[in-house]
Amino acid sequence: MHDDHYKRLFAFPRLVEDLLRGFVDGDWLDDVDFSTLDKLSAEFVSGEGRARRGDTVWRVRRRDVWLHLLVMLEFQSRDDPDMALRILEYTALLYQELARNGALEPDGRRPPVLPVVLYNGAPPWRSAREVGELIAPVPPSLARYQPAQSYVVVDERHVRSDDAAEGNLMAAVAALEQSRSMEDLHRVAAALDRRGWAPGEERLDLVFAKWLERLMRRLAPRDAPPTVSTVEEARMTLEERVSQWPRQWLAQGIEQGLAQGRAQGIEQGRALLCRQAARKFDAAAGEGLAAALTGVADPERLAQVGDWIIECETGADLLARVRGDGRAGG
């Protein structure tokens, strides 16, 4: 299912555009006409008739030249030490296919290729990114005869994903790969929902919605979510589930502590809220909330703070509400 979600996502030119704009460096992107993005067949056949498959191949015009984008989708838990060789092989097979189809440049030359590897394994990608690193050292007089090619790696679990809030769909993909809680999923779903969808992107909305649904089921297998068909439905489901948790945890902490004394129950409730604030925002938010809640013993007031943790976009917003609440210090 994971592979299927990716291949469906990268059937849309918007994903490819956001991948290049957000995760590939170079001023050459200023000359790319993204309106010309054109998906090609990823089926390559070598001279011996052995079928080989690359995952996604697109081409796009850069000035007066077609740039071919070879996207390799990697779904393994470890990186591939031979990836540079695989990229070199796939590039050669792509060039053979273009020649067979009469798709070379007007002067007969091969178009440039940008190989990109999308990797979602837990350990950082460490394998060689240049094929020359896999070849034994040679004297300078032999170096010119050795193959040379590099590729781009988007290490999804270790790249920035904050651009998801700005509408970059590849950043949203990375944010989903980095999600470890329902709160994380809710932030991504909310960012996608704020972005909206352009005409013709309805199927893209469905693919993201189904991925969110699958991740919800994985993170909360005992609390299966309803079937969703849009990101908006996924966001509303997550909002409902997540909004219930702070009050539930607070009630559980107080209930567990009451057996040993009310004061201890309240203390456990405050600790749970501070832990949740630190998890959603950062350690500073958790520490600031702990200071602001010192002496607060009213369960209803603490429950209100739990609601604010869900509603607030930043830790600063949360602390401003708590400190500005006339009841908070009472």
pLDDT in tens, 80-112: 999 999 899 989 998 998 899 898 888 888 888
Domain boundary pick from 159, 178, 197: 178
Domain boundary residue, one of 178, 213, 239: 178
211: amino acid identity, one letter: W
Integer angstrom CA distances of residue 122 from 75, 159, 194: 11, 12, 29
Residue 80 lies in a domain: yes
Q: Give the predicted TM-score (pTM) of the model.
A: 0.73
Check whether residue 168 and residue 186 sit in a common domain.
no
164 and 189 share one domain: no
The percent of residues in the chain predicted with pLDDT above 90, rounded, is 35
From residue 34, how far is each of 16, 37, 67, 324, 327 by CA, in Å?
9, 6, 11, 48, 54
pLDDT of residue 330 exceeding 60, the answer is no
Do 273 and 246 fall into the same domain?
Answer: yes
Among 156, 178, 200, identify where a domain stops. 178
Please tell me whether residues 88 and 215 are part of one structural domain. no
Mean pLDDT of the chain: 83
Q: What is the residue whose two structure tokens read 């590897």?
A: 117
What sign for the dihedral angle of Cα 209, 187, 226, 230?
negative
Residue 140 included in any domain: yes
The DSSP symbol for 307 reads H
- Indicate whether 22 and 164 sit together in one domain: yes
Per the structure, the complete domain to which residue 234 belongs is given by 182-324
Asked if residue 329 is part of any domain, the answer here is: no
Model confidence band, residue 202 (pLDDT cutoffs 50, 70, 90): confident
Q: For residue 139, give Cα distances in angstroms to 135, 169, 172.
A: 12, 46, 46
> Can you tell me whether residue 175 is helix, strand or coil?
helix
- For residues 190 and 318, membership in a common domain is answered with yes
pLDDT at 327: 46
Tell me, yes or no, whether 264 lies in a domain: yes
Q: Does residue 48 lie in a domain region?
A: yes
Does residue 330 lie in a domain region?
no
Q: Which pLDDT band holds residue 74 (cuts at 50, 70, 90)?
A: low
Q: What is the pLDDT of residues 272-320, one digit of tens each?
A: 888 888 878 888 998 999 999 888 878 778 878 887 887 788 889 999 9
Both 44 and 159 in a single domain? yes
Whether residues 84 and 213 share a domain: the answer is no
Q: How far apart are CA 239 and CA 183, in angstroms?
A: 9
Strands 113-119 and 152-155: parallel
Q: Residue 35: what pLDDT? A: 92
The reply to whether 119 falls in a domain is yes
Same domain, 28 and 130: yes
Residues 41 and 164 placed together within one structural domain of the fold? yes
The total number of structural domains that make up the chain: 2
**Are 150 and 211 found together in one domain?**
no
28 and 152 together in one domain: yes
